[in-house]
Amino acid sequence: MKAWIGKGNAPWGLKRYQEAEAAYDGATTRNPNDAAAWYNKGLALQQLKRYAEAPAAYEHRFDPRDARDWRGKARRLRALGRTREAEEAERRAQELGG
């Protein structure tokens, strides 16, 4: 599966986000448990301004015990205008020491 992530990283470096997203999509299809592929897919979706789709990709690799994940979730929710949910995610991050 790392080969598929590599296929996404190459166009990512060239700012060809649509190609990168397609490769990350291939990686997640082949291995639905690949957290890095889901995370990278979320980043690519954000770069493509497909903001409504990005949170679902991030949720596949979300670790509810990790304050960094909660902070990232808060940023994404805030960008979508979901302020109440963002504030809740920020509180959860703080509770975890982040």
Domain boundaries, the chain: 1-61, 65-98
CATH domain 1-61 topology: 1.25.40
**Helix 35-47 vs helix 17-30: crossing angle, to nearest 10:** 150
What is residue 70's DSSP assignment? H
Question: What pLDDT, on a 0 to 100 scale, did the predictor assign at position 4?
Answer: 67
Low pLDDT (below 50) residues in the chain: none
User: Nearest to residue 28, comparing CAs of 37, 36, 39, 19?
Assistant: 37
Q: CA 4 to CA 11: how far, in whole Å?
A: 12
Question: What pLDDT, on a 0 to 100 scale, did the predictor assign at position 98?
Answer: 64
Question: What pLDDT, on a 0 to 100 scale, did the predictor assign at position 21?
Answer: 95
Contact 89, 63 (CB under 8 A): no
Q: What is the pTM of this model?
A: 0.76
Residues 57-82 have pLDDT tens digits of 988 888 899 998 899 889 888 988 99
Question: What pLDDT, on a 0 to 100 scale, did the predictor assign at position 19?
Answer: 95
